[in-house]
Amino acid sequence: MEMLKVLVVDDEPGIRSGIDRILSKFTVGYPFMDEDIGYTVYEASTGEDAIRIFHENPPDIALLDNKLPGMGGVEVLEYIKRNQLNIEVMMITSFASLELAVKATNIGAYDFVPKPFTPQELRSSMENITKHLFLKRMTQKMNKEGKQIRFQFLSVLSHELKNPLNSIEGYLRMMQERQAGDQIESYDEMIDRAIARIKGMRVLIMDLLDLTKIESGKKNREMQLTDLVKIARISSETMGPMAIQMEVDIRIESQEEFFVMADAEEMEIILNNLISNAVKYNKIGGMVICRLKEINKKLIIEVEDTGIGIPEDDIPTLFREFVRIRQKETKHIMGSGLGLSIVKRLIALYDGSIEVESHPGEGSIFRVVLPVII
Ligand SMILES: Nc1ncnc2c1ncn2[C@@H]1O[C@H](COP(=O)(O)OP(=O)(O)OP(=O)(O)O)[C@@H](O)[C@H]1O
Ligand SMILES: [Mg+2]
């Protein structure tokens, strides 16, 4: 078990030993953590003592009482920030004034617990600060390893899933309380909205899973003769419901069969993403053409649309993770900004390349060139 060091800075011995008792039996775990996190608690009775300990045996978290005999808790917090010590701070305060809370938060305290607190209040605050610390360290580590993507996986997942989950819970509660009466029809719209949220979450989770699998090399690749026309058809069918809604016509231009040596699943992810974008960012009554060609022994996949197009300045950023281009037409379109970054990673596996031609207001062409065996 990983242990975090917690320094309790309080002049009341009863509070110090109380916190020690509560935290020494407490652990925090999340599904995405390899192991639980526990706490090693040690104590200081004054701010001056605490500062000495910061240098001799620095804690991960400091629980700072605001009202200390000499130097006050806020001053200790200021000292931590001024010296850029890597210590997360939670204020404990007997006068839970808003003013003090605002001040401490502005200086950089992560949270505060008002005295007197119950064991449960302390535990839940510790849980929050621990999660925050964990994600922060994960970022630092991942940045160092150049694997920011995995951190984003965690943070995006935890952030992005919170809102839809809350809203689904909200709809369910309204139904539970029969807020719109006893007729099930009265709830149709809520049910539709809840289902739409669930779909959104599923897409996000699937996208993120694809990305981490590709990233960590865990995805098994199976190179075999694959008929791309068949895959293009599957992808167009997947986008069928949305294409019907948008009255967008999807066409495939290719010879009857187009066999290449590739991983079928990877090809499907590439085509799914390009075709889904071409439909999503299209106009009502527009068109999508998926062309499969061979030029100089290289496979060319072109997905052309008659959609809203992409401003030239935004094209270089398109393939980065979580990039979504802000345009008034895309405001209401759901997406996580991951599709094209996944496409780019897959193409790199084949030593291929992708380029974009776009005319804002008229449409775009995404062109993939893959040196696969044809
Ligand atoms: N064919 C297109 N026409 C116009 N804009 C596009 C097109 N394809 C992509 N874009 C723009 O590029 C951004 C990134 O696309 P990407 O596929 O990576 O993410 P997304 O579609 O927003 O979300 P998702 O992860 O669900 O695919 C989109 O948000 C959109 O603004
Ligand atoms: Mg997309």
Q: Provide the CATH number for the domain around residue 181.
A: 1.10.287.130
Q: Tell which atom from ligand 1 comes closest to the C-alpha of 342.
A: 18
Q: Give the C-alpha separation, 374 to 358, whole Å.
A: 28
User: Tens-of-pLDDT digits for all 374 residues of the chain?
Assistant: 889 999 999 999 999 999 999 999 999 987 666 788 999 999 999 999 999 999 999 999 999 998 899 999 999 999 999 999 999 999 988 765 677 877 888 888 988 888 888 999 999 999 989 988 887 887 777 666 655 555 555 655 665 677 678 778 888 988 999 988 999 999 998 898 888 888 878 877 777 677 666 666 666 678 899 999 999 998 888 888 788 889 999 999 999 999 999 988 889 889 989 999 999 999 999 999 999 999 999 999 999 999 999 999 999 999 987 788 888 888 778 777 888 988 898 898 899 999 999 999 999 999 999 998 87
8 and 130 in a single domain? The answer is: yes
Q: Tell which atom from ligand 1 comes closest to the C-alpha of 207.
A: 25
230 and 183 in a single domain? The answer is: no
Q: What is the pLDDT of residue 122?
A: 93
Q: Which ligand is nearest to the CA of 156?
A: 1
Boundary-marking domain end, from 116, 142, 168? 142
Q: How many residues are present in the chain?
A: 374
Residue nearest to atom 17 of ligand 1 (CA): 339
Which residues are 298's β-sheet partners? 295
Q: What is the pLDDT of residue 199?
A: 83
Cα(139) to centroid of ligand 2, in Å? 25
The boundaries of the domain holding residue 282 are 223-370
Q: Give the C-alpha separation, 187 to 165, whole Å.
A: 18
CA angle 150, 153, 156 (to 5 degrees): 145
Q: What is the pLDDT of residue 334?
A: 73
Residue nearest to atom 9 of ligand 1 (CA): 277
Return the best residue to mutate from 206, 238, 273, 281 for the ligand 1 pocket (most ligand atoms within 8 A of CB).
281
CA distances (Å), origin 313, targets 30, 56, 310, 337: 41, 52, 8, 17
360 and 232 in a single domain? The answer is: yes
Count structural domains, the chain: 3
Cα(163) to centroid of ligand 1, in Å? 21
Edge-to-edge order in the sheet of strand 61-65: 37-44, 2-9, 61-65, 88-93, 111-114
332: domain CATH number? Answer: 3.30.565.10
Q: What is the pLDDT of residue 143?
A: 64
Residue nearest to atom 28 of ligand 1 (CA): 324
Q: Which ligand is nearest to the CA of 208?
A: 1
